[in-house]
Amino acid sequence: MKHMFEHAIMTKADFLLTAAILVLAGVLLVRHFTAGPGDGWVVVSRDGVVEERLPLSEDTRLLLQDASGNENLLVIEGGSVRLEDADCPDRLCVRQGAISRSGESIICLPHKLVITIEGRAETDSSAPDAMLD
C-alpha cells in the first residue's frame, strides 16, 4: 500500500513560496523585537480630538480632566502606559491595565477618552501617511 506523500517532490514554486514566508516571518520578528518600549508616543484623544502627545520613554503622571470635571490619572512608566485612576462609574479603563506596543489602546467610554500608543514619529510631520496612485 502506497502512502500519499511517498512521491511528493517540492517544486521550485513550493520552495520560493516557503522561502518568501520564512523571510517575511523573520522581518516581522526582527521588527517586533527591535522596537524598544521607549520608541513610541502616547497619544491622548478626547471625542476624536488629540489633546496630548507624550513620549513613551519619559515617566510621566498626568491628570486628564475634561470640561465637565471628569478625571483620569494617566501614568507612563517603564515604557508602558496605564490609567491608574478614573472617576467613571465602571472603571474598566483602569482595570484594563498597562499597554506598551504600537497600536494598542485604552478606552474610557464615559469620558470619551482614548489613549493610543503610536510608533516613532516621522521627522517630517508633513510627510504623507500613504502614497496613492
pLDDT, tens digit, 9 for 90 and up, residues 38-60: 479 999 999 999 999 999 999 99
Q: Would you kindly state where each structural domain of the chain is located, as residue ranges?
A: 41-118
Cell triple for 52:
496630548
CA distance 56 to 96: 18
Confidence at 111, pLDDT banded by 50, 70, 90: very high
Beta carbons of 100 and 119 less than 8 angstroms apart: no
- The yes/no answer on whether domain 41-118 falls in CATH 2.60.320.10 is yes
pTM of the model: 0.62
pLDDT of residue 123: 37
Decide if pLDDT at 32 tops 80.
no
Beta carbons of 67 and 51 less than 8 angstroms apart: no
How many helices (H) and strands (E) the chain has is answered by: 2, 7
More confident residue, 16 or 45: 45
Beta carbons of 69 and 87 less than 8 angstroms apart: no
